[in-house]
Structure 1
């Protein structure tokens, strides 16, 4: 190796020394045929250059062979001395590669499918809200009073009328049902925006959930997604309701161990033996040959029962009652002779243990019906706790706080935008979840009505960030910072958080449509507010304006 380097250096030095332009030989007489001499010197120079390149290539090849042989020897020695270390690093490399590949696939799922230019997509995401200028406080207050507050004033009147009629209808339903074979219906519970005082869209429909239980000797055995292997992992937030007989889990009756007289009968077993011959309930409400409660069967039973109940009491009222949506168990509409209509929903549910969590098969407005699922999977609704938490927080917040006002304005704007560009997968339940998260993170003093503009901006920013990340967690499932006064079951607080935006990861077309609608709403916010706001004359101030001035 040193000899080769020496040869290269010698050739280079010789070429330099013999170059006629660098070291001309002054004492030598230049021959007459100068051009011929110059040509020979050029040929010699070219030959020296070629020889130098050839030597450099030979040295490079020798160096590469030497290095490769040394590395092979070292690797072989290391493998012979420590094969476990080599296996460990190989396995680690494979794991890292797999993690990177999984991350890449997940990242690609989160990208918009229709955008081919990544820079264009990055320019859109995260910058939509920066260019939005919301109206000032006085304009927002005028808009809220003119467009929203007048609408919500009708809620109390409708709610009082519907509550009385719903109680009468359910009482008639109990009287027409067979108590030995049909489900037993309990008192209704008012939930939703009408009972949380933020409903803005017409029709102003009241939502009621109606718990029901099976007749004796049957009972419900409830299975949530984290309580057993029977519920698939992709059904997070869902559960199964199994119909069992009460005697299946009993240790036995005393009549089995005691000899009764011929003229004595066990009242328990005599009743159960009679019910064994009546399989009407199982055949009607179970899914095929299984023992799981079928939501579609329950819907059919409930609609038939409501029809019978209305036929019994219809003579007492001067209006008609019809089903407004056949896909929902109890979406009803009262129609007066004057043409006025009032809508309300009665939805059968199953209570979870002794809590206020309920299994629900159908949602009246499809707010949570994300994606298709089988009829035996029932969604868990925390509607009662949502109403209770809003009432709990309202006692802590300043008087005339703006939390519900922000939600109403946002729901109004989104509803108007959907009427212009078509429906999106973003629902009012998502908007309410955003408000609940911000109520937990912002101090109560920041929700005074004077902060209406700032809190509305916070909700829009939070919603935009959640949509970009495709992640909006359920407020009650996995939230361990809830007040103990609410009485949330610990099993749900300790559960893994549930992402309400998970369908956006799997359904890219819905996600793209939702993002387009949201960005269009942001761009049209000022226009929509100014269009629907009735200008207040100069020198005249409303109560809300007086508070802001």
Structure 2
């Protein structure tokens, strides 16, 4: 038969093939489908009869014509195969082109990352000024110096009634691994004081609302050293026999030496320690290679050490520990007119421990320490990576802008109950209501305007650095 008849019958069988009927059809639909099927069967028989008659009429067809018909069928089939082959080749090339495009994009991204890494290193290393000194070396050198001082002075104070010097604690930015943009790095050290024999310290909170922050006084009281069952029998008891103790030991009690009234005096403590440093310096091994200069200060002992190659500055503060926590009251000044018997509460030791904890959680190439000289971080530490530097900086600037506009910034330590367990806080500090560090901006509109202008200047300068490389 002709090829067109074959393809026509094949198409008709596909198009008119009865579809399965679900059980949900009604009886009328079923009868209608059966009638349709019978009509299709009759039409199929009729077409087959016509095909047979056509075949009889063409029984004399030549072998050449039959061969031509077969060639048409094969040609059609070959065309289909050719089209499939072309389609397959096109898909293969498209896939290769897609893979090549992805590789090209990945290569381009790697080149962009390398360029960005170079620009970032330039920004951090060239435009953000860092001290020439190695901070870790400076911290180790500082702690060795102060430990030697406290050891020598501690032996000299044996059998006296002066405060006992405890092991020094390094704190502040240098011990956190960063530093502000200063001409010289300052290494800050806190020396805790504990009461001598026969004395006790009692911390009294200053509730004066006119003074900023939380401030204390250290009340010194004489302690009975007599047996409990026989009070007053011990002649070396400062409480019951102060004159006898002075006469026998030739030493004044703490109330007579470093106190004003009943309270420990910061300025007297500083003068006393500076005199001990000056007297004991030649007994230290550092004196053979360094020159020591004592700088005048009323609430800290400032030591400058220098030689032919370098110099460094150490600021020594004094404090009393609150219970067994990381919170201290210290000799650090609170304003220009801080009374000598006032000891402001400080959270610097707790903050230093927090930064060390954060450094352990950060990735190896973290940029969070370097960003601290600009502003505090607000992005999770796990994302402090060089690649996200702009995002970190942008987020921090946005948080700073919102705080300035709202004139509100809460203290990080006070009232913070989410600090790591290794940081120990007294209950009153942990449960306190965080104070507003921007309280002064609420009271002084002019200062607030200056702060906003300073923020805008900082934002503009950073934009110039990132855009043009100009600071």
Same fold (TM over 0.5): yes
When the two structures are superposed, what TM-score results if normalisation uses the length of structure 2? 0.65
Q: Distance in 1 between matches of 2:399 and 2:444?
A: 22
What residue ranges of structure 1 are gaps of 5+ in the alignment? 1-134, 225-229, 258-264, 364-368, 411-430, 535-549
Q: Return the alpha-carbon distance in structure 1 between the equivalents of residues 226 and 234 of structure 2.
A: 16
Select 2:388's aligned residue among 443, 446, 451.
Answer: 451
Q: Please show how residues 135-214 of structure 1 align to structure 2 within 5 Å.
A: 139-148=119-128, 151=131, 154-177=134-157, 179-200=159-180, 201-214=182-195
Q: 1:376 to 1:531 in 2, by over 3 A?
A: farther
1:246 aligns with 2:223: yes
- 3-state SS in 1 of match to 2:174: helix
Distance 1:315 1:142, change over 3 A: closer
Is this contact kept in 1: 2:149–2:277, CA < 8 A? Answer: yes
1:357 pairs with one of 324, 327, 338: 327
Aligned pair partner of 2:214 in 219, 225, 237: 237
State the alpha-carbon separation in 1 of the partners of residues 295 and 336 from structure 2: 23
User: Hey, what does 2:357 align to over in structure 1?
Assistant: 392
Whether the aligned pair in 1 keeps the contact of 2:198 and 2:237 (CA below 8 Å) is no
Scaled by the length of structure 1, the TM-score of the pair is: 0.57
Residue-pair matches, total: 350
| DSSP-derived class of the 1:269 partner | coil
Structure 2 residues not aligned, in runs of 5+: 1-114
1:46 is matched with none
In 1, the alpha carbon distance for the partners of 2:394 and 2:217 equals: 40
Judging changes above 3 Å, is the alpha-carbon distance between structure 1 residues 159 and 270 closer, same or farther for their aligned structure 2 residues? closer
Q: Secondary structure at the match of 1:484?
A: coil
Q: 1:269 aligns with which of 216, 230, 237?
A: 237
- Measure the CA separation in 1 of the matches of 2:158 and 2:226: 29
User: Which residues in structure 2 correspond to 1:73-88 (within 5 Å)?
Assistant: none
Q: Structure 1 residues 319 and 487 mapped into 2: Cα distance closer, same or farther (>3 Å)?
A: closer
Q: Distance in 2 between matches of 1:269 and 1:373?
A: 35
Aligned equivalents of 2:252 and 2:310: distance in 1?
Answer: 44
CA distance change for structure 1 residues 285 and 150 in 2, over 3 Å: closer, same or farther? closer
Q: Do the aligned partners of 1:143 and 1:533 also contact (CA within 8 Å) in 2?
A: no
Larger radius of gyration: 2
1:282 is matched with 255
* Whole-Å separation in 1 of the counterparts to 2:319 and 2:390: 39
- CA shift, 1:497, in A, is 0.9
Structure with higher RCO (Cα < 8 A, 6+ apart):
1
The aligned counterpart of 1:299 is 270
- Pick closer, same or farther for the CA change 1:516–1:445 going to 2, 3 Å: same
User: Per the alignment, in what secondary structure is the counterpart of residue 279 of structure 2?
Assistant: helix
What's the secondary structure of 2:254's corresponding residue?
helix
The alpha carbon displacement at 1:304 in A equals 2.1
**Does the 8 A contact of 2:123 with 2:465 survive in 1?**
no
Task: Tell me, in whole angstroms, the C-alpha distance in 2 between the residues paired with 1:255 and 1:382.
Answer: 43
Change (3 A) 1:504 1:324: farther
Match of 1:493 in 2: 430
Please give the secondary structure, in 2, of the residue aligned with 1:255.
coil
SS in 1 for 2:271: helix
Q: Aligned-pair distance for 1:243?
A: 0.9
1:344 aligns with 2:321: no
Is this contact kept in 2: 1:471–1:501, CA < 8 A?
yes
Aligned with 1:476: secondary structure?
coil
